[in-house]
Chains A and B, each alone.
Chain A
C-alpha cells in the first residue's frame, strides 16, 4: 500500500520533470515569438524559467526525501529500435536538485541581466538559454545511450551559441570554436565508451549495460574513454584548455550555468558510468582519477592566483574545484575497489556535496562579476577596486560566496573539503604497500589547494571590491537591480544554509551512496551534528559554530561599548605616514600573484618585461601562459597540418596521374580477388 503510494507519486515525479523540461523548451520558443521585446522576455519568460527551476528542485527534493525506488518512462521518440528511456533514481534526483537550486538563482538574475541585450537578439538568447537548461536536465534524466548523447550534444551546442552570443569579437569566436571542438571530441569518446559498455549485445539502455559484465580489458577501456570524454567536459588537466577561454567569453549568467551546472553534468556522467553502469572497479582507476583530480586542483588554484581578468580567474578556480570533486571520486573508487564501502561512501558524499556547493557559490560569484561588468564595463582586475562603497549589495553577497569558495567555516565550501580530508585520513587502511604511504600526501596537496583557493579569493574580493578605485570612472558604478539582487541573495542563502545544516546535504548524498555503494555514512546522530564516521572520530557542527561566532562577536561588541566607548573620527589613512596616497600605490592583481609566480615559477610559461632603473617611463608587463598548449596541443595541430599537406599531394591536378590511381586500384583489387 505505502510503497504503491510512493511509487505512484514518484512516477508522477518523473513525468512532471519531463514536462518541466519540455516547458523550458516551450518558453524558449515563446521567446522567438517576439525576439526583440526585451521586457516581455526579461520580465515574463526568464522568471517563469526560474519558477520551473524551483519546480524541478522541489520534485527532486521530494523524491530524495520520500520514495527512493527508481522510476522509468519510455518516450515515443528516438530511434525505431531504441526509443528514449528516462529514469529517475537517487543519483538523478541529487543532480536535478543541484540543477534546480542553482538554476533558479541564475534565471532570476538573468531576467535582470539580459535586459541590456547586445549581440544575439534577446529572443534567440532566451531560446538558447532555456534549451541549454532543458538539455542539462535531460542529460541527467536520460536512461539510454542515444538519448544521453543527444541531450549531451544539445547541451554543448546550445551553450556554444550562448558563448558566442557576442560573435563580433574575434577572441570570443576563437573561444567558442575551441570549446565546441573539445566538446565534440569528448562526446565521441563518450559515445565509444557506450559502444564498449553495451558489450556486443546491442542493448543501449542503461539497464542492459548494468547487466553486462565486461572482461577486464574492455571494462578499463570503457572507463578510460569515459574519463576522457567527461574529463574534457569537466575541464580536467590537460583537457582544460577550452575552459578558461569559453567561460569568460560567455555572458555572465551563461558562465555561471557552464561553470556551476554544466560541469556537474560531467561529474554526473562520470559517476553514472563508473559506479552504476560498470559492474566492477579496479583500484588503479581510482589512483588515476585521484592523481588527475589532485593535479587539476593544484593547477587550477595556481593559475587562478595569477589571473588578471576576473572571469578567467573564476574559470581557473572552476578547474580547481572540479579537480577536488574528481579527487573525491577517485578516492571513492579506490576505497570501493579495496572493499572499504564505508569510506567509499564518505569520499563519494564529499564529492557529491562539493559539486552541489560548487554549483552554488561559483554561480554566485560569476553572477556577481556580471553585475560588476554591467556597472563598470571592466573585466580586468587592474581597472577595478573599491566597489564595496558604490555597490554594497553585490559586495556583501559576493563576500558570502568568496568566503564559501575559500573553504572557510561555517559556510558550505568548508563542509565538503572537511569531508574529503576526513576520507583521506582513512587511506592508510588501503591494502597496498605504496598507496597507503603515498596517498596521505594527497591530503597535503588538497590542503595546499584549499589554502591557495583562500589566497585566490582574497585577491579576487580584495582587488575588485576593496581598496581605492583604480579608475576614476568607477565612482559612479551603480548597484545591481532588484532582480539581480534576488538571484544573488538566493544563492548566498544557499551557501549559508548548506554551511550550517550540512547534514541535510549529507542525507541527500546518503541516498545516492546508498544506491550506488549499498552503504551510507553516519547521517548525523545526533541530528544536528556532522559526524560521518562516528562522533568520537571527528565531528563538526556548522550551526553551533555560527551561533558561537555571532554570540561572541556581539558580546564582545557590547562589552567594548559598555566598558570602553564608541568614539571615532575619520582621518586620512596613515600608511606609515607617507603623505601622498594614490590608488596606484595599492597592490595590483599582478602584484598580488607575485609570490605564487615566485614559488611555482616552473608551472608557468612566463614572459615579462621589467623596467630598468634608468627608465624615464618605466612599464612592467607580464604574460603568463599555459605550458600544456605548447606541450600537447600545438604538436597535434602541427601534425594534422603536416598530414593534411601530404594528403593534399594526392590531388595533384594532373589527369594522367588520376587515371593511374584508378588503374592501380583496379589492378590491386584484381590481384586481391585472384
Chain B
C-alpha cells in the first residue's frame, strides 16, 4: 500500500533526524544551544506523532501529539529559557570529557540499541517497526549525555531528552499508550520539571552556582 509506504519513509527520516539531534546534543557545550536542540527534538517528535496519528487514524494519538507540541516544543523550552536567563547561566559552557571518544561510545551504543531492537521490531505490527531501535538509541544517548555533564541545567535537559526518547518509543512502536497513562506521564513530567525549576534557585542560593561539582559532600569519607 503506497501511502503507508510513504509514511514509513518520512517517519524513518524523522527518526533519523531525532538520532542526529541527540548526537548534536551530546557534543554541544553551551546550555543555550542545548535548549534549542531540545526544542527541535520536541518538534520532530510532534511531527512523527502527528504522522503516526494520521496513518493509523487513532484519535488519542492526535491528543498526545498536541500534548507534545504544547509541552515539549513550547512550554518546556520557554521555561528553560526564562530560567537560564534568570539564573544567568545561558552563556556558560562546560568542559566535556573529550568529544570524539564520547561520540565513539555513542556510536557503539547506537549499534547495541539496534541489535537489541531486532526482536521487537520483528514482532511489531505497526508501520513504524524499525523506529523502536532508534528510540532506544536516543534514550541511551541521553543517558550518556547526563553522565558526561557537570551542570545541573544540562543534566536536566538530558533527562528531558530521555523522556523524548521514551515518548517516541511509545508512539512509534505501540501507537501510544492508553490516554490516561499518557496524561499521567505528562503530568508527572510537568510537575517534576517545576520542582526542578524550584530546585535550581534553591541550589543556586545555597551553593551560588549550578555546578554539580559542589554537590559532592555526601559520600563515604
Contact = CB atoms under 8 A, between A and B. Distances in A.
Given A667-B112, A674-B116, A659 B143 contact: yes
Interface string B147-162: 1111000010000000
Given A648-B220, A649-B220, A667-B112, A655 B148 contact: no
B67 to A, nearest CB: 27
Contacts of A648: 220-221
Contact of B147 (A656, A670, A674): A656
A651 interface: yes
B216 interface: yes
A473 interface: no
B218 interface: yes
A652 interface: yes
A649 B219 CA distance: 9
Contacts of A654: 212, 216, 219
B215 interface: yes
Interface string A641-670: 000000011111111100110010011001
Interface residues of A, number: 16
Contacts of B221: 648
A651 B146 contact: no
Contacts of A666: 143
A278 B148 CA distance: 60
Contacts of A650: 220
A663 B115 contact: no
A651 B212 contact: no
A656 B212 contact: yes
Nearest to B139: A666
Given A649-B220, A653-B217, A655-B215, A660 B115 contact: no
B103 interface: no
A258 B135 CA distance: 68
B148 A656 contact: yes
Contact of B116 (A656, A659, A663, A670): A670
Contacts of B146: 656, 659
A350 B112 CA distance: 72
Contacts of A651: 219-220
Count class of interface residues, chain B: 10 to 19
B144 interface: yes
B212 A663 contact: no
Nearest to B108: A667
A643 to B, nearest CB: 13
A463 B144 CA distance: 77
A237 B24 CA distance: 68
A481 to B, nearest CB: 56
Contacts of A659: 143, 146-147
Contacts of A656: 146-150, 212
Given A667-B112, A670-B116, A674-B115, A653 B143 contact: no
A653 B216 contact: yes
A593 to B, nearest CB: 47
Nearest to A658: B147
A663 B218 contact: no
A648 B221 CA distance: 8
B80 to A, nearest CB: 20
A138 to B, nearest CB: 42
B147 A652 contact: no
Given A656-B150, A656-B212, A674-B116, A663 B219 contact: no
Contacts of B116: 670, 674
Contacts of B112: 667, 670
Nearest to B119: A674
B138 to A, nearest CB: 14
Nearest to A660: B147
Interface in A179-201: none
Given A663-B143, A663-B147, A674-B115, A653 B219 contact: yes
Given A649-B220, A656-B150, A674-B115, A663 B215 contact: no
Nearest to A650: B220
Interface in B84-121: 112, 115-116
A156 to B, nearest CB: 32
A651 B149 CA distance: 19
A667 B111 CA distance: 13
Contacts of B150: 656
A134 to B, nearest CB: 43
A663 B220 contact: no
A663 B148 contact: no
Nearest to B109: A667
A673 to B, nearest CB: 9
A667 B221 CA distance: 29
Nearest to A655: B212
Nearest to A644: B220
Name the residue in A649, A656, A660 with the highest tally of chain B Cβ atoms < 10 Å from its Cβ.
A656
A649 B220 CA distance: 7
A669 to B, nearest CB: 11
Nearest to A651: B220
B210 to A, nearest CB: 13
Nearest to A652: B219
B136 to A, nearest CB: 10
Contacts of B143: 659, 663, 666
Contacts of B216: 652-654
Interface in B201-221: 212, 215-221
B146 to A, nearest CB: 5
A651 B218 CA distance: 8
A638 B147 CA distance: 35
A653 B148 CA distance: 16
Contacts of B144: 663
B26 to A, nearest CB: 14
Nearest to B218: A653
A663 B112 CA distance: 13
Nearest to A647: B220
Nearest to A648: B220
Nearest to A664: B147
A299 B90 CA distance: 76
Contacts of B147: 656, 659-660, 663
A653 B112 CA distance: 29
Interface in A604-656: 648-656
Contacts of B155: 655
B106 to A, nearest CB: 12
Nearest to B136: A670
B50 to A, nearest CB: 31
B117 to A, nearest CB: 11
A666 B112 CA distance: 12
Contacts of A674: 115-116
Contacts of B220: 648-653
Contacts of A655: 155, 212, 215
A47 B217 CA distance: 60
Interface in A392-422: none
Interface in A153-211: none
A656 B150 CA distance: 8
Contacts of A663: 143-144, 147
Contacts of A660: 147
A659 B220 CA distance: 17
A149 to B, nearest CB: 34
Contacts of A653: 216-220
A383 B217 CA distance: 55
15 contacts: A648-B220, A648-B221, A650-B220, A652-B216, A652-B220, A653-B218, A653-B220, A656-B146, A656-B149, A659-B143, A660-B147, A663-B143, A670-B112, A674-B115, A674-B116
Given A651-B220, A670-B116, 16 more contacts: A649-B220, A650-B220, A652-B216, A652-B219, A653-B217, A653-B218, A654-B216, A654-B219, A656-B146, A656-B147, A656-B148, A656-B149, A656-B150, A660-B147, A663-B144, A666-B143
Interface of B: 112, 115-116, 143-144, 146-150, 155, 212, 215-221
Q: 6 tightest A-B contacts by CB? A: A653-B219, A648-B220, A653-B216, A651-B220, A659-B147, A656-B147
